Structure 1
Amino acid sequence: MTGPALLDAGLGDLLDAVLRDHLGPRRGRLVVLAMSKDENPKATIIAFPPEGRKPLLAVKMALTHGARASVAAEARALQQLAERDPTLVGGTVPRLLDARHDATGAVIVTTAHEGAPMSIDYHRWRHTANPRAVHDDFQCAGTWLDSLADAVMPHDQDHGLVEGPTAGSIGQALVARWPSDASAQALAEHVTSSTSDVSAGGPASVVHGDFWCGNILRRDGAVAGVIDWEHASFVDDPLRDRARFALSYALYLDRHTAPGRRVAGHRGLVAGPWGEGVRYAVAGSGWFPELVQRFLSDGLQTTGRDPRLWREALLQGLAEIAATSDHGDFARHHLSLGAEMLSWP
């Protein structure tokens, strides 16, 4: 199997032109902050002044032909967000400064935010074993999501905005991806049934679409920035971001624990097969499952829905990742876990 086709080597010339136009002859330091590992990777470069540690701007460039669409989607999302909320949610969302593409590739330039990704704290020794630290992570995430929903609401006159996936479109995508798989068929039927449609009656708002610890920058205990807006939608259910955050947080709880060993701070969790942290969060007992339930229930209740549907919200989140993830194995694992969850009491 061949990998995705890389863009022309001339992409470096496009990047050089962008940096020259925005920074002038004194470039300062350039740091490759992230090199995504999905099927269509992007590189993010942070520019710093010759002296000083405050970042000047961020540059994201597509490394494959397939990644060009993602870079363009992020540019559109940031532009539409700025049009609807000039404050860019209190200064936490990058401001689009430039977007360019030619035959060699695509590049966008945004403002840069100070702060460390929440994922750094997440992977620190025993961070996820500390109830107070984990509660603070969820509190930060929930507070920011509430401010996003308050700041950017669709207007009746808005047209052409990206709409988020519906239960029906997720079900169709599952069956299309695995047409002969009984698990895909069962999960698709469940998420599209009227009894499991957690979106029914919920409000429409802007949704980040990939809201996990790695995309949340924190400084002095508060959210300082939220990055990577390529999956954003503007007419969507805000509960999607809460479900994505909770699932991704639970998924790696046993990452640093040897298989068969108890996970520190989580009495009912033993490191084991893929997704054991999610199983624990949904069907286990203890402070972490209770926190996840409360996080989803609060999101349902504040948007006028039944808080008892928190499991359905997570199940729909699993189905969505299975249907849309670029990474085949990652998608398959979420499908299997979602189908397994259908049989849980």
Structure 2
Amino acid sequence: MTEATRAVHPLPGSVHEVLFAPATRGVLIAASRDPDAKLTFVVTPAANTYPTGPTGAVAIKIPATPAAAAAIRRETTMLIQLRDSRLGSIAGTIPQYVETLDSGGLPALVSTALPGTPMSVPYHRWLHTGRSRLVAADFALAGGWLRRFQTATAGEPAPITWAGQVSAQLRDRWHAHPHLEAALIRLAAADRQLSGHAVAQTVVHGDYWFGNLLVADDAISGVIDWEGGTRSGCPLRDLIRFALSYCLYLDRHTRPGHRVLRHRGLRHVGFGPGISYGLLSRGWLPDLVREYLRDGLRTLGLPAELWYSAALTGLGEIAALANSDEFGGSHLTLLAGLPPWPPTTQQEQG
């Protein structure tokens, strides 16, 4: 934008100037209570607010805490880096950075608003996760977008050190946890399997779960919330995160102690029984989960039988990086209770 244009149409400098402009229309779409809590508005700003920028709605993410401000700075950096990447046809599925506003001395992120409904909305509809056709479609959408994204951002191959890195992160965060040693034994087994292989480094979203995927017209129309992203990292991280998150909430609408409908052997008992079910049990959903992971590994040029070691490492990463101690600690305990290898390891053929 030229200085002359700025003089006629100065960009707003604060959140207040955008949200409370006379012609602005918007809605609060998300508010969290996490340590890095944020408020997210989708806003149609007044005409000429961005004379050389977006003409439609924008998303404004406002931090409620200093920790949230740090997360917004990380996401801002990622969106700027992604804007300069060659993403081809999927570029339109990633929010475009617009500007940073002041919110009481903390940065608020403005980005383009993307169309679509979060995959979490149909996920929580009655018996959505009990229907194999619908679940298979969710995995196909998530896996298909991820393959295209990883192909577009693939760089040089590097040895897979992910499990070793997660072990170090767990030691730092959970050094006094009673289940730490058991968890580290599982990660050591995973590292022995993974570390002998190399994989092309890619851009990593870092929180690739179904709540961050927008769907429209039976396609992924947007992938949001890039604050956990990195410009170059292990692509297994996003592959695993989607599968684990999808399994985690299978029992959400089932009363404690009761059987989860249409999933034989799965009951709402303890934390995350759906993860153990998805990784270790027999049935149509565990079959879908494991085939999704195997397909993702094959696409990355890795042996399909590494799926379980990668899943253990993904559990450890959630335990290490979760912004809630309760959530992270529960994943650590879950990891410690899983076998170091799946019961069918000897029969895995890849």
- Indicate the TM-score class for this superposition, using the shorter chain for normalisation: 0.7 to 0.9
1:310 match: 307
CA RMSD of aligned residues (A): 2.6
**Contact conserved, 1:40 with 1:63, CA < 8 A, in 2?**
yes
TM-score of the aligned structures, taking structure 2 as reference length: 0.85
Any idea what the Cα deviations from partners look like across 1:290-324, whole Å, max 9, x if unmatched? 11101111111121211111111111011001011
2:151 match: 150
Matched, 1:177 2:178: no
- Residue 181 of structure 1 deviates from its aligned partner by 3.1
Unaligned runs of 5+ residues in structure 1 are 1-12, 157-163
1:120 match: 121
**Contact conserved, 2:42 with 2:58, CA < 8 A, in 1?**
yes
User: Distance in 2 between the 1:228 and 1:18 partners?
Assistant: 21
1:140 match: 141
- Mark the CA change 1:88 to 1:97 in structure 2 (over 3 Å): closer, same or farther: farther
User: Distance in 2 between the 1:331 and 1:199 partners?
Assistant: 28
Q: How does 1:204-283 map to 2 (within 5 A)?
A: 204-283=201-280
1:15 match: 15
Stretch of structure 1 that moved more, 298-307 or 102-111: 102-111
- Mark the CA change 1:86 to 1:203 in structure 2 (over 3 Å): closer, same or farther: closer
- Residue 25 of structure 1 deviates from its aligned partner by 4.3
**Contact conserved, 2:183 with 2:336, CA < 8 A, in 1?**
yes
User: Distance in 1 between the 2:129 and 2:103 partners?
Assistant: 44
1:324 match: 321
Unaligned runs of 5+ residues in structure 2 are 1-12, 47-54, 344-350
Aligned length: 321
**Contact conserved, 1:191 with 1:197, CA < 8 A, in 2?**
no
- Residue 155 of structure 1 deviates from its aligned partner by 7.2
- Mark the CA change 1:258 to 1:102 in structure 2 (over 3 Å): closer, same or farther: closer
TM-score of the aligned structures, taking structure 1 as reference length: 0.86
Stretch of structure 1 that moved more, 130-139 or 176-185: 176-185
User: Distance in 2 between the 1:147 and 1:64 partners?
Assistant: 35
1:111 match: 112
Structure 2 SS opposite 1:58:
strand
Any idea what the Cα deviations from partners look like across 1:46-86, whole Å, max 9, x if unmatched? 01379xxx961100111101111100100100000111126
Q: How does 1:3-42 map to 2 (within 5 A)?
A: 14-19=14-19, 25-27=22-24, 29-42=25-38
User: Distance in 1 between the 2:103 and 2:326 partners?
Assistant: 33
Matched, 1:337 2:334: yes
- Residue 266 of structure 1 deviates from its aligned partner by 1.1
Structure 2 SS opposite 1:47:
strand
- Mark the CA change 1:317 to 1:77 in structure 2 (over 3 Å): closer, same or farther: same
Matched, 1:60 2:61: yes
- Mark the CA change 1:65 to 1:262 in structure 2 (over 3 Å): closer, same or farther: same
- Residue 259 of structure 1 deviates from its aligned partner by 2.2
